[in-house]
Chains A and B, each alone.
Chain A
Amino acid sequence: MRYVDPRFQKAVLKRLEALGHGIFYLILRIAGQPGAYALLIPVVLIYVIAGRRIHRLTSPYLRRRFPKHNLVKRRRDTFRIVHSFGQILVDRAWLGLNRSARLHCSLDGWDTILGLIGQRKGLVLLTAHVGNWQVALAHLKDLPVPVHALMHYEEEVVAKHYFDLRGESCPFRIIKTDGFLGGVVETTAAIQRGEVVTIMGDRLAGGSSATVRFLDSQVRFPAGVYRLAAATGAPIAVLLAAKTGRQSYHLRVWDVFHPSYRDRKHREADLTAWTSRFSKALEAYVTKFPYQWYNFYDFWDQ
C-alpha cells in the first residue's frame, strides 16, 4: 500500500472541511435554510455509510437508547442523530447570515422561572448538550435579573460566535471555568445577589461527581452544581431546548428542586439523589427527543 504522509492527509482533510463549509454557506445564501437542509441529506448519508468513526462515537448512546435495534436500524439511528445535529448547525449559520430570520420558540415553565427568581435566593438553570442550547440561552435576555453562564472555553467560543453572527449582544455574562477555583467565587457571589447562573450538568470535566443510572447504565455526572445550590440555598431548574420543526423550538423546564442537605451524615446520599433527578429529567428528554443527544463520545465512561 502506498505510504501517505499523515500531515498531508490532515492538510487535505482540513481543506475539504473548509470547502464543505464554503459550499454550505453558498447554498444557504442562494437557497436559504431549505436548500441547506436538502444538501445535508446526501452529505450525512455519505458520512454515515463511508465513515467508521461516527459509529464509534454515537453507538454508546444509541445502543442504550435503542437496545433492541439491529445493525440496519442502528445505521438509520446514526443517520438521524447526525442529520439532526447538522440541522442545528445549519440553523445557527442561517440565523447568522440572515439577521431578520427568526425561529419560533414556545416556552413551557417561564412563569416557574420568574417565580423562582422572585424568591431572591438566586437560581441555577441546569442545561445539557441536547437540542440547541444557544436557543435556550438566547431567551434569558428577557429575565429581570442578570444572567451568568459558567462555561468551558469551547462552549464560550461557540456561544460568542452565535451572538456575534447575529449582531446581538450576548444576553449573559460568561464566567470562565478556567479562572481561579474554576469560577466558583463569581458563581457563588452571583447567586448570593439573587442572580441566575446557567450550568451544563451533563459533561464531567473533573471535580466532584456522583454515579447514577442513566438509560439503564451507571454513569458519572458532575455533582458540583448541587453542592453549589445546597450551600447557597438556590433552587435548580432543569431547562432544555428541543428542535420541534424546521423553524421551531420548544423550551421547557423539565424539573425544579431545592437542594438542601438533611444533615452532614447524608451529604453524599443527598448529592446522589439530586444528580439522579437531573439524570431522570435528561432521560425523559431523550425519550421524547431521542435524536437530539449531542454528546458524541462514550458518555458512560466519563
Chain B
Amino acid sequence: MDQLKQQLKEMIVQDLNLPNVKPEDIDDKAPLFEEGLGLDSLDAVELVVLLQKRFGVQIADMEEGKVAFASIEALARFVRAQQGNISKSTDTSVFAT
C-alpha cells in the first residue's frame, strides 16, 4: 500500500505538472482538491485519465470521484479495490469459459 501511495504521489507531481510540490510533501490524509493539495476540476480530468492508463481503473461518476479523491490514502484504497474487482471478474470469466 505504501508503494502504491508513493506511485500515486509521483504521478500527480509529474503528470499534473506541479513544479513547487515534491511527492514527500503530500500528506496521505489531505484532500487532493481545493483546500488540500489545491488541484482544480481540470486536474481531475487528467487524473481520471491517468488512473485508467497507469492502473486500469475507471472513476465512473461523482460519487466514486468524491470517495477516491478525498486523499492519497483514499485514492490508493480505491485503486487497490478496483484492481481487486478487475482481477476477480477476469478470474470469473476464465472459470466461465
Contact = CB atoms under 8 A, between A and B. Distances in A.
B76 to A, nearest CB: 18
B45 A184 contact: yes
Interface stretch (B5-13, B21-29, B55-63, B86-94): B55-63
B42 A224 contact: yes
Interface stretch (A11-19, A31-39, A107-115, A227-235): A227-235
Contacts of B45: 184, 187-188, 224, 227-228, 231-232
Nearest to B14: A264
B31 to A, nearest CB: 12
Contacts of A179: 62
Contacts of B66: 180
Given A180-B65, A180-B66, A189 B46 contact: no
Given A179-B62, A264-B17, A188 B40 contact: no
In this complex, the interface size class of chain A, counting residues with CB under 8 Å from chain B, is 20 to 34
Taking chain B's interface residues, is the majority helix, strand, or loop, or is none over half, making it mixed? helix
Contacts of A183: 62
A244 interface: no
Contact of A224 (B41, B52, B60): B41
A182 interface: yes
A231 B46 contact: yes
Contact of B48 (A182, A185, A264): A185
A180 B33 CA distance: 11
Interface residues of B, number: 20
Interface in B45-97: 45-46, 48-49, 52, 58-62, 64-66, 69
Contacts of B61: 185-186, 189
Taking chain A's interface residues, is the majority helix, strand, or loop, or is none over half, making it mixed? helix
A185 B59 contact: yes
B18 to A, nearest CB: 12
A208 B41 CA distance: 9
A224 B44 CA distance: 11
B49 A192 contact: yes
Given A231-B45, A231-B46, A185 B62 contact: yes
Contacts of A227: 42, 45-46
A245 interface: no
Nearest to A185: B65
A121 to B, nearest CB: 12
A15 to B, nearest CB: 41
Interface of B: 17, 33, 40-42, 44-46, 48-49, 52, 58-62, 64-66, 69
